[in-house]
Amino acid sequence: MRLHWWDEAFPAAGLPIEEMSFSRQVSMELSFSRQASGDASKERAPAAVVRVERALSGELLAEVALQVSSPVASLRAAAAEAAGVGPLQVELLHCSTPLAESAFQGLTHGSVVQALLRPAGALVLTASVDGTAKLWRISDGACICTFAGHDFQVMAASFSPDGKEIVTASLDGTARIWQVEDTSCLHTLDGQDYQVVSAAFSPDGKQVVTAPLDNTAKIWSSKEGSCQRALMGHRDVVLSAKFSPHGSLVATRSLDGTAKLWCAKTGKCLQTLSCRGGEAKLVVFSPDGTMLLTSGEHHQIAKLWKHAWPEASGDVYQPCGALLGHVSEVTAGNFSSDGWLAVTASADCTARIWHTCTENDRCMHTLHGHTAEVKCAIFSPDASVVATASCDSTARLWSVEDGSCLHCLAHSAEVSCAALSPDGESLLTASADSSARLWRVEDGELLQCLEGHDGAVTSAIFSP
């Protein structure tokens, strides 16, 4: 059996172009052999030896032994490892038909299987108040699978870094870790009767941090499903918890008006950041972890913090500037990929783009156009575009260069969040109208409407 995937620069004869726009040119050669045991009346199950070669040079990349009776998931995992991609990026076809997951159906010695490599961001994960999460294929908008098992609303869902697992946070008092390949629940992380509103993997995928609606956050082993440590110190409900980009810190925000930074290894609280309000609305790391952005309820100012070098004061981060200009509370914010820019969203119906590395004239543009609270604001990967989501049932795309509105994208109810694809070409929006929608950034055209949830969609993200 031989598996091929093609580079678009070297299309294989006889295959349509849309099946050949992939990043590597490698061939996989599978040969099945029977091995006799000492007892002639007994034979081992046929084994497949997977030989992975570069198609042009013939360079050997890997050899993997598989059992013929293994599910296609095992073959996909081997192909993904050999190609250096995640399993979600591999689709196996036989006679132009996707292979069934249960077994090597229809395959015999000498069969040819095509391994199609999807780019990063080819799938979408959504969560909903209907108690489920769903995985969608963006090429045709099809729902691939549903993760069902929670007894109440799912507030968030996210991928592990390698895309093999997802974690969901639910108001049923649990977070769950699921295997993507077969949608099985690997672990249930018990919130001890407190509603879990936030759950996220560490950058290395070995841990999960959750925020149940009590005064703690918890760090769990993603492999064992066991609680490793509780982060105790807040005086009111913890609303979210996330790892720093390098995984050494955990940031939490709480109704007690503070954000806290914790050592992920020991669980020790390293620093408390005052957000001057009844609720810490925002705490977000820059992509390299050297800066933080915070804000508080009923507070019109967002605050910038910079990593202390060295930590002479004992603090991990020190204040380095205030972003002044909003006339109502700051609700959300993010950094550009290089950390040189920040964007904030506000209940004053605007978003603002800021310089992070200047002392004066930090505000570049005020983005006017929304007619209700702006709930989300993010940069494109190249920082040329900002996307916003609002309670006015729209999302908008804005030029970073001049602050102009490029496109207004409409749902029929509040838009709770937005995400941009890894290549920056597509925008994903989630709405209380029970749908997620995929839009082309260049012209604002609606590409896919992902419908299937029975309630508001609370989060939507692209696959890694």
| pLDDT tens sequence across 236-275 | 999 999 999 999 999 999 999 999 999 999 999 999 999 8
pLDDT at 95: 65
Give per-residue burial for 169-203: e unless 16+ CB within 10 Å, then b: bbbbbbbbbbebbebebebebbbeebbbbbbbbbe
> Rounded to an integer, what distance in angstroms lies between the CA atom of residue 237 and that of residue 278?
11
> How many C-beta atoms lie closer than 10 Å to residue 126's C-beta?
24
Sign of CA dihedral 186, 220, 264, 318: positive
pLDDT at 8: 34
Q: CB-side exposure of 335: number of CA atoms within 13 Å?
A: 23
Supply 93's token pair.
């076809």
Is pTM beyond 0.85? Reply is: no
pLDDT at 42: 41
Given a contact cutoff of 8 angstroms between Cβ atoms, the answer to whether 240 and 197 are in contact is yes
Place of tokens 């961001």: 121
Supply 96's token pair.
């132009």
Given a contact cutoff of 8 angstroms between Cβ atoms, the answer to whether 243 and 200 are in contact is yes
pLDDT at 334: 98
Q: What value does the CA radius of gyration of the chain take, rounded to a whole number of Å?
A: 24
Place of tokens 């729209």: 394
pLDDT at 1: 42
Looking at residue 19, the DSSP 8-state letter turns out to be: G
Q: Which segments in the chain show pLDDT lower than 70?
A: 1-75, 93-96, 99-114, 117, 191, 277, 310-314
> Rounded to an integer, what distance in angstroms lies between the CA atom of residue 218 and that of residue 235?
15
pLDDT at 120: 76
- Give SS3 for 274: strand
Place of tokens 């001057």: 276
pLDDT at 17: 30
Supply 399's token pair.
């030029």
> Rounded to an integer, what distance in angstroms lies between the CA atom of residue 451 and that of residue 455?
10
Give per-residue burial for 215-239: e unless 16+ CB within 10 Å, then b: bbbbbbebeebeebbebebbebbbb
pLDDT at 181: 81
